[in-house]
Copies of this chain bind each other. A is one copy, B any other.
Amino acid sequence: MKNIVCDVLIIGGGPSGGVTAITAKQTYPDKQVCVIREQEIQLVPCAIPYIFGPTLGSSEKDIASCAQAKISGVTPLLGRVKKIDIEQKSVQADTCTITYDKLIFATGSVPFVHPTLQSACELEGVFTIPKNKSRIDALKNHLRTHNSVMIVGTGFIGIELAMELAASGKEVTIIGGSTHVLKNAFDTELAVEAEQILSDAGITLRSGEYVDAVIDKKGIAIGATLCSGETVHAEAIILATGYQPNSALAKAAGLKLARYGGIWVDEYMRTANKDIFAVGDCSARRDFITKEPSKVMLASTSASEGRVAGSSLYGIKYLKGFTGTIAIFSTLIGQKAFSSAGVTEAEAALAGLDTVTGSFEGFNRHPSTIPDAVKQMVKLVAMRHGGRIIGGQIIGGQETGEMINIIGLMIESKLTIYSLLSLQVATQPMLTAAPTSYPIVMAAAIVANKIEKG
């Protein structure tokens, strides 16, 4: 067994591990930075749904590049970590033993399956969506010869997967526990627009339903009974019911876990042990606004955490730490893009925040006679007292994917709607809404007016 000595060891080569490694090497060029990962080939996690439809069509088109890490001088290692001795600063893998000075957990997340369905995962035809090429290929292969698909879960992965499968001619049923889809990102009036597109695509949506049991026919899943008592037949059942932190290794090493099972870290991604960090989905998150534990897992957030950790290993280089996850999402459903930042109106109410909202609908081009102009709707959620922006939701064209990052920046910069009323923006007929009715500004004005009127 090989013995390796390095300065900085990162366990996991996903988005958070990769960014931490590159940032660490840039920050400390003289340190040896190693990344140990289990899979030689890693998928781009966010694009996994597109493997199953016409968009990518194959996992071969969804391979994450290691080029940047290689250029940066990061040392790649292949192996499965078995045990960590934090006293000896030593990591035992199946391929080697590594001693480190600084250790970073970037072990990611694994699919969450409700306890009542865990045994069903052993059946043929039942799948989860792990970030693992061979298991994704196995599902892809199964779908080649099976037409009816049940997707359990109405989060982003479930919806994106459903649309891709429907576009491939599959008969798709989605089972969602919530009243409306994408409930962590959109309030009802926006969610129903997404539901309309699913329906137009021929997808059957069963909302407010849970899978009670998967029907087992000699080891093969042939459908499921729902909590309402109804039976739905399907040749493939895909559980897209979220992910949970992959923190077993850290727990076994004696590190403290937080609620939801993530590794406890401070604002600089440090665990209680000053030489051990955790980043990405395996770390415990708090919401930026509510300061409550957060289950939101985003590659973009993971990358951001990786940049904080990578520049804070030997002292804190930049003062701005990671003070909570701003849930910033976007997706394309059919021809419409849906995006969301911060908390929804409903989430804010649940957390006890006293908010005022403003919604404005216009067009994403101006004048609206510009070919391909589509409706664009912006909703802002702000604090009643002081007007701080805590959330935003947009439906529109593909520009929406970057437009939500304007609202994300407003939330992160703790801006109020009052600073938006005279916001300077670029507007152009072929690219944006009109200067006289730029929807973020219009929505802010509606909020200001509502606050004033009390």
Contact = CB atoms under 8 A, between A and B. Distances in A.
Given A55-B370, A405-B406, A436 B399 contact: no
Interface string A315-341: 000111110011011111000010101
B46 A429 contact: yes
A403 to B, nearest CB: 4
A325 B429 contact: no
A427 interface: yes
A299 B434 CA distance: 9
A332 B431 contact: yes
A367 interface: yes
Interface string A74-91: 000000000000000000
Contacts of A367: 44, 47, 56, 61-65
Contacts of A435: 15, 46, 298-300, 302-303
* Copies of the polypeptide in the assembly: 2
Contact of A398 (B19, B61, B398, B406): B398
Given A46-B428, A431-B401, A422 B299 contact: no
B328 A426 contact: yes
Interface in A404-431: 404-406, 408-410, 412-413, 415, 418-419, 421-431
B47 A366 contact: yes
A295 interface: no
A interface majority secondary structure: mixed
A68 B426 contact: no
B425 A408 contact: yes
A273 interface: no
A429 B307 contact: no
A172 B430 CA distance: 22
Given A44-B429, A422-B308, A438 B370 contact: no
B302 A425 contact: no
B424 A300 contact: yes
Interface in A276-324: 288, 298-305, 307-308, 311, 318-322
A431 B46 contact: no
A311 B448 CA distance: 12
Given A47-B366, A402-B402, 12 more contacts: A55-B370, A299-B436, A303-B436, A304-B424, A307-B421, A318-B418, A318-B421, A318-B422, A320-B421, A322-B422, A328-B426, A408-B425
